[in-house]
Amino acid sequence: MSMRSIVFAGVLAGTAILSATQAAAKVVHNSWSSGANMPTAREGAAVGAIKTKIYVAGGRNGVFLAVNEIYDTVLNTWTTGAPMPTPDWGVGAVVRGELYAIGSGGEVQKYNPVTNKWKTKGLAPMPTVRDSLAAAVYQGKIYVIGGFAGIRLTTVESYDPASNTWTELAPMLVGKSLPVVGKLGSGMIVAAGGFTNNGVTGDTEVYDIATNSWRTVTADPTVRQAGCGWDINGKLYFASGDEGPGYDEATYLVESFTLKTQTWTTPLAPLPQSTVYPGSADVGGRIFCMGGATNGDRELNNVQIYQP
């Protein structure tokens, strides 16, 4: 990989830690702020943003959890919603104002915030049961990418809530668990980093929905897995994650990837608290990293907010 593919940016101007109220009052680009702590510390929760609220369901803290907590990004407060029918950890995805929690057992659980009710009966389970997966939503369909089921998988499957059906898609070129994924460009999904059968990787691939095909692009200069990430304004942001095989090498590093130029910008303002396997959401152009775990596999309850 050529060093020309890496763009370096200073971070000194953006490292201040602000309160959520201060951040709302004045936009400071490339900066982190803190929100009110989650009532329940956990990693691997199903997270999704609906309007100005973020729903954090399930996860793990020694055991699988069913708790469903709701963060109001305007008021900076937490409330409690109906618990998940089945405790689990996995990924969350929002389609048409409802949160879909897809867990390690393959079960799909759907939460309606208006009725404060969950539905599981009749929802088609994920064909390939796996954990440590990633997901992105495009045009009303949920794309579930990679994961672990004894080995790291190349598996990619999409779920269409409208028809309640799953479709097997072209596999990734490299099998991995816990990449950071996001939508970049029209009909493109990027999967960066993760853990392969040979260790942590910076491998970055792009899935073209129209052609059902994957291609390799510029690798992340920092190998890592299980970070916080989201796509905003044509960039995929990759925050923190673990640089080793276990939860003992969490990094504070933040980078962004631009598909059009196939470049990584590094470093950006570092996370105040390094984290592994947090939940991720986007509200109002800000990235919210919810909980996760830190060195020694200690679960976190903090809310870290990045303003690009």
Pairing of strands 235-239, 254-258: antiparallel
The pLDDT-based confidence of 9 (bands split at 50, 70, 90) is: very low
Rounded to an integer, the average pLDDT of 50-55 is 98
Q: Please state, in angstroms and rounded to a whole number, the distance separating the CA atoms of residues 217 and 264.
A: 11
Look at residues 281, 189, 271 and name the one whose alpha carbon lies nearest to residue 230. 281
**Alpha-carbon Rg for the chain in angstroms:** 18
Rounded to an integer, the average pLDDT of 141-150 is 98
3-state secondary structure of 175: coil
Amino acid identity of residue 146, one-letter, is: G
Give me the domains of the chain, ranges plus CATH numbers: 3-40+130-307 (2.120.10.80)
The pLDDT-based confidence of 25 (bands split at 50, 70, 90) is: low
- DSSP at 24: H
Q: What is the mean pLDDT of the chain?
A: 92
Give pLDDT tens digits for 157-207: 999 999 999 999 999 999 999 999 999 989 999 999 999 999 999 999 999
Whole-number pLDDT of residue 247: 67
Give pLDDT tens digits for 254-299: 999 999 999 999 999 999 999 999 999 999 999 999 999 987 679 9
Look at residues 255, 256, 257, 295 and name the one whose alpha carbon lies nearest to residue 274. 295
Q: Please state, in angstroms and rounded to a whole number, the distance separating the CA atoms of residues 272 and 170.
A: 38
Amino acid identity of residue 194, one-letter, is: G
**Token pair listed for 307:** 């303003």
Inter-residue contact 281 to 255 (CB < 8 Å) = no
Whole-number pLDDT of residue 1: 40
Amino acid identity of residue 233, one-letter, is: N
How many CB atoms are located within 10 Å of the residue 209 CB?
17
Sign of CA dihedral 162, 165, 170, 173: positive
**Token pair listed for 80:** 């409690």
- Using a pLDDT cut of 90, give the percent of the chain over it: 88
Rounded to an integer, the average pLDDT of 116-142 is 98
Inter-residue contact 273 to 304 (CB < 8 Å) = yes
Give pLDDT tens digits for 88-110: 999 999 999 999 999 999 999 99
